[in-house]
Amino acid sequence: MRKKHSLNIKKMAFKINSVSKYFLSSACCFLTALVFLSISCSPNEENENLSSRIFDFSDQQLRYMIEELNEAIQEDPEGKKVSPRSVRDGEMFVVPSSDWTSGFLPGMLWMMYEYHGDEYWMEKAVERTAPIEREKLNDGTHDMGFKVFNSFGQGYRHTNDEEYYDIIIEASNTLITRYNETVGAIRSWDFNRDRWDFPVIIDNMMNLEMLFWASEVTGDKKYFDIAKQHAWTTYEEHFRDDYGSYHVVDFDTTTGESRKKITHQGTADESAWARGQAWGLYGFVMTYRYTETPEFLELAEEIADYMLYHPNMPEDLVPFWDYDAPGIPDAARDASAAAIMASALYELSEKVPEKQEYYRETADQVLDNLYSNYRSQPIGSNHGFLLDSSTGHHPHGYEIDTPLIYADYYLLEAALRKKSLRE
């Protein structure tokens, strides 16, 4: 297995830049504290209530979403529609279990149950999780974590249901069939085989958590080894010298070397697609949690710096869909990237004590801005989605400036993490 650890060389080359960012970070912490003190006579009280405001709002929105979803399911003669993904042409866009986003609503319903303790949410979570089971044997996709772990994984935490456990392990066994030892990674896409040989996307970091968990609960190290090696390969190949990320790296399965690097959902191959940066940040913080590999934590910090200090990052920290998007400052935003970033920053704050306050305050700012300025209004609008102004696939011209279910998922996860850290 290849372990070049090439980013260590990059970090030496950028040592001066890293030192300067450390002092800038300290200054930012101080200035951020002053801002928080100046905007209100009781900022702490408002900050403490943010999670409860988000979940109270979500209670009303998601009840409405479930009503609309039930109608869409009843009108589906083939019985394939299981979960909402976005709003297209003014209508709720509902997808089958095979879609990579199908596990987000079930996961949100489990989080609603965790926060409110209301049996209504338990009932709905069980109901919406069940249709995802068929995906446990779908070996044509890498998105097992998004689909199965976000739904059954969330459910198992609350129920200890052995059937849920078995489904997650089956899904993990299915996922590792896509691992190539020569490449040292799990294959992402199967489409466009005329364009690439063995594509690995930055999003795939998010699916590793299920494998780490499977290794932890079964004691079988194979899941851990595959997940960690995939993370090393991504660490080595996906990031440029400035810690911007490529979306896709295509590998030669004979040599294991990278063939080409592109940014499929960004504005250009050398640009920084906002959600891709967020996936990388979240993925490497999570991977550090399971592996305690210092290089993964260092990379997460560098990705966070890249995002937060980028000259095109807006003041409200809700990024444009690509940091190099044409038309800035009038380019579309991506609230989903901001929500993922906020959730990751809360976890990062636990791993870096010397920057804990800065990361938490920054995450608080992002979460507050999302709730205050990007939530669906009035209540009962947007077919029950929580946030507006996300961007799915801008180059292909769809899901632009619209609600997206995964933005809502990470908004709730961030709010839960905030509450947990406070307690």
Give me the active site residues, please.
143, 203
**Distance between the two ends of the chain, CA-based, in angstroms?**
42
Question: What is the three-class DSSP state of 394?
Answer: coil
Q: Is 203 annotated as a binding residue?
A: yes
How many Å is the Cα radius of gyration of the chain?
21
> What sections of 75-207 are H helices per DSSP?
104-116, 119-129, 144, 154-159, 162-175
> Using CA of residue 401, residue 405, residue 407, residue 408, what is the dihedral sign?
positive
Q: How far is CA 356 from CA 29, 221, 290, 302, in A?
A: 10, 32, 19, 15
Ligand-binding site membership of 275 (annotated):
yes
Beta bridge mates, 98: none
- Asked whether 185 and 197 are in contact (CB, 8 A), the reply is no
Q: What span, in angstroms and rounded, lies between the C-alpha atoms of 204 and 231?
A: 9
CA dihedral of 412, 418, 419, 423, whole degrees rounded to 10: 160
Pairing of strands 258-262, 390-393: unpaired
Q: State yes or no: 157 annotated in a binding site.
A: no
Residues 33, 38, 44: CA angle, nearest 5 degrees: 65
Residues 161-172, buried b or exposed e (16+ Cβ, 10 A)?
eeebbebbbbbb
Q: Is 380 left (phi over 0), alpha (psi -120 to 50) or beta?
A: left
CB 281: neighbour CB atoms within 10 A? 30
Single-letter residue type at 267: T
Does 220 show up as a binding residue in the annotation? no
d(CA 367, CA 316): 10
Q: Is 134 annotated as a binding residue?
A: no
The SS3 of residue 260 is: strand
Summary count for the chain: helices (H), strands (E):
16, 9
Cβ burial 210-224 (10 Å sphere, 16+ → b, else e): bbbbbbeeeeeeebb
Per the annotation, binding residues for substrate are 143, 203, 263, 275, 279
Which residue ranges are tagged as binding site? 143, 203, 263, 275, 279
